[in-house]
Amino acid sequence: MRLRPRQMIMIVAALVMAVVLWVQLSGPSEPTHNGKSLSEWLDERRPTPAGPIVLTDEAEQAVREIGPEAIPFLLDWVQRTDSTTSQSLRYRVGIPIPLNDVWRARGLYGFRALGDAAEPAIPELVEMALKSDDRDVQGAATNSLTNNHPLAVKLLIEALQSNDPEIRFNAALVLGRLRP
């Protein structure tokens, strides 16, 4: 039996989807607290009177109790990128493909909740904020650094001396966004 090109494409697409699903499910499992995964806690948000949306107090406490064990997951989530194909399918064709902005948001809320316990991640976050080719990743990394940690400030000030003008520019932008 000879397969038509369309059938071959469908078979290959199904195999690719199966591999992606397998990779997603076979990775390390998220840390949990009181029976909820890290990502479930990071989805518990509330508005504030001043306007910004923040984690609920219970969610923030849960993330703090999970502690540094959350860092590898948060770093992975902050740097997730969307392919041009998935963006086109979602925005131009209207196919509801979930984009990674949800994961990047979880990452930045997680880093904010960890506070000083996120210090081991600061060098990598600074690197993403300064050098990522993806503007969404740069933004998520920058927003994850907004707690004005001394190590972040030190690394960003050092980046102002870079020979690369884009890195100097990005360092100045990130420094300007840090909260006192």
- What is the sign, positive or negative, of the torsion defined by CA atoms of 46, 48, 145, 171? positive
Looking at residue 88, its pLDDT comes to: 73
pLDDT, one tens digit per residue, over 113-146 is 999 999 999 999 999 988 998 888 988 898 888 6
> Residue 22 domain-assigned?
no
> Residue 14 domain-assigned?
no
Cβ atoms of residues 128 and 78 within 8 Å: yes
Q: Which of 89-93, 160-164, 174-178 has maximum average pLDDT?
A: 160-164
* pTM for the whole structure: 0.74
Q: Which domain holds residue 76?
A: 31-177
What's the mean pLDDT in 12-16? 70
> Residue 60 domain-assigned?
yes
For helices 165-177 and 122-131, the axis angle rounded to 10 degrees is 120
Percentage of the chain modeled with pLDDT above 70 = 85
Contacts 24+ apart (CB under 8 A), 14-20: none
| C-alpha to C-alpha distance for 36 and 57, rounded to whole angstroms | 15
Alpha-carbon dihedral of residues 151, 68, 30, 65, nearest 10 degrees? Answer: -120
How many domains, in total, are found in the chain?
1
Average pLDDT over the chain reads 85
Cβ atoms of residues 152 and 125 within 8 Å: yes
Q: Which of 73-87, 96-110, 113-127, 142-156 has maximum average pLDDT?
A: 113-127
> Residue 130 domain-assigned?
yes
Q: What angle do CA 79, 29, 151 make, to 5 degrees?
A: 45
> Residue 114 domain-assigned?
yes
> Residue 10 domain-assigned?
no
> Residue 4 domain-assigned?
no
> Residue 141 domain-assigned?
yes
Helix (H, G, I), strand (E, B) or coil at 175: helix
Q: What single-letter amino acid sits at 118?
A: A
pLDDT at 18 over 70: no
